[in-house]
Structure 1
Amino acid sequence: MKEYVERSYRLLHRQQDLVFFQIAIKETDLDIGIAHDKLTAGLVDGVKQEIIKIRSQLEQYITADHTFYHTLEPYTPGPGAPEIARIMARAAATAGIGPMSAVAGAIAQHMGLYLARRCREVIVENGGDIYMRSERKRKIGVFAGSSPFTNRLALEIESHRMPLGICTSSGTVGHSLSLGHADAVVIMAPSAALADAVATAAANQVQNEDDLQTAVEFAMSINSVTGALAIKNDQLAAAGAIKLAPA
């Protein structure tokens, strides 16, 4: 899909009071927003080195534990696993699926926490999965492929709900594995790794519009998930702390 390839969906989480910069290393492609006065060459270089470090830890572990990478079932990493792998595995097991379902959210969260030690306002987006920390209300647009809701709906998020993970899975947009056909399932949770895994698991359940409510109810049954939104064509279902607003 052209809109996905060009990543124009990134305009849906951009905030006018923040400056955004991009760093792409292999499959990790981050769009990062911070306050203008925090953007320095040193900070950007630090972010780049941290991504390289966390990716290297994960890549080395995957090389030694192929099951971790390939399984679609809950999996307990071995004793030598780095913390990023353990976070992914715990989040995915909670959702009932394999660890790699949480990789984008886990990396977004890791980098968000890294930046939060230096910046009060932080948005880190990684392939449609977002970690956000802010002291003000934010609006995040919803991208749902060819659904008429794309570019028309946004999530309004109050500051007291942050830091927050806002992660999206789709069976019709992007390259990530999905066993369903949802245009978008958006999950909110304090952990972006968990939000990512639950979004994947919930989206797997959507074959048509009749499955939207079931997917949302499944997501909300998982402890610490605070909101769920599922979209297929011109239908949607939502539950929890989802506050919809015009994009």
Structure 2
Amino acid sequence: MEYVKRWYRQLMQVPELVSFEVKIEESDLFVMANVDVQEKVRELLERERRNLKAYLRYHPEFLNSLEPLRVPAFAPPICRLMAWASEKAQVGPMAAVAGAINERVFEGVKEEVKEFIVENGGDLLIVSSCSRVVAIYAGEDSPFSFKLGIKLPPGRWGVATSSGKVGPSLSLGKADAVVVISDSAALADAWATSLANLVKAKEDVEKVLRISENAYGVQGVFVAFGEIMGVRGKIELVAL
């Protein structure tokens, strides 16, 4: 996989938090926390990658399936989390991998941190005692990129974006961006892929917003398609 420079990270600095990157093969995490937990995050990322790769060695279908798959009770926790999220959103397990890694890493450090933000290929897990604003990026040609942000209240949030035009991740749709907010990063990741797959024309934007109203675990959705923007759920948009 060709490495893509995460240029947007220059815009993500939060002065009161310690920031660092942890890169292992395809995984590239950018973390901000109230204390320096870089070595712990590296250990956790190594563990989760090792567990996932071990499972894939004997279950290669888990890597390539575009549909949900059941996993045995003895499967690694990250695989069970991916399978659960993908079943809810009706996509393949790997659609939830970035969000699942974010969640599993946080579970390993949550006793040590009060503020924690991890970005993994554009997918975020945010645990914060204050409001945070996430900028929307829908490609260089979108009228919404870096013009709008989503203001999240204090708490724990998963934020994931899927696009048919931006980034290396597989999308069967043509949306500039579908952003999903959930209290689970893995669910947000899976649903972003699932909903973005359905956006192939401007007429699909409203359909996807209606589907999102009953999507398990989804708190809010933002859709960008050309000049069209749609919002549904608990999303507060702010001008940047």
CA distance in 2, matches of 1:139, 1:84: 28
Question: Scaled by the length of structure 2, what TM-score is found?
Answer: 0.94
Residues 88 and 100, structure 1, Cα contact 8 Å, conserved in 2: yes
Establish whether residue 217 from structure 1 lines up as the match of residue 210 from structure 2: yes
CA deviation vs aligned residue, 1:57-96 (integer Å, no higher than 9, x gap): 0001011001111111111013441111011001001001
Counterpart AA for 1:71: S
Q: 1:90 aligns with which of 62, 65, 84?
A: 84
Counting only pairs closer than 5 Å after superposition, residues 53-68 of structure 1 correspond to structure 2 as 53-68=47-62
Counterpart AA for 2:87: A
CA distance in 2, matches of 1:76, 1:110: 19
Moved over 6 A (4+): none
Counterpart AA for 1:58: L
2:165 — aligned with what?
A: 172
Q: 1:205 aligns with which of 178, 198, 220?
A: 198
Q: What is the alpha-carbon root mean square deviation over aligned residues?
A: 1.5
| Aligned pairs, number | 237
CA shift, 1:215, in A, is 1.6
CA distance in 2, matches of 1:91, 1:12: 30
Counterpart AA for 2:81: I
> Judging changes above 3 Å, is the alpha-carbon distance between structure 1 residues 177 and 230 closer, same or farther for their aligned structure 2 residues?
same
1:140 — aligned with what?
A: 134
Runs of 5+ consecutive residues of structure 1 not aligned to the other structure: none
Q: 2:238 aligns with which of 229, 237, 245?
A: 245
1:48 — aligned with what?
A: 42
The percent of aligned pairs where both chains have the same amino acid is: 38
Q: 2:175 aligns with which of 182, 205, 212?
A: 182
1:163 alignment partner, SS class = strand
Runs of 5+ consecutive residues of structure 2 not aligned to the other structure: none
CA deviation vs aligned residue, 1:43-68 (integer Å, no higher than 9, x gap): 31121111111100000101100111
Question: Scaled by the length of structure 1, what TM-score is found?
Answer: 0.92
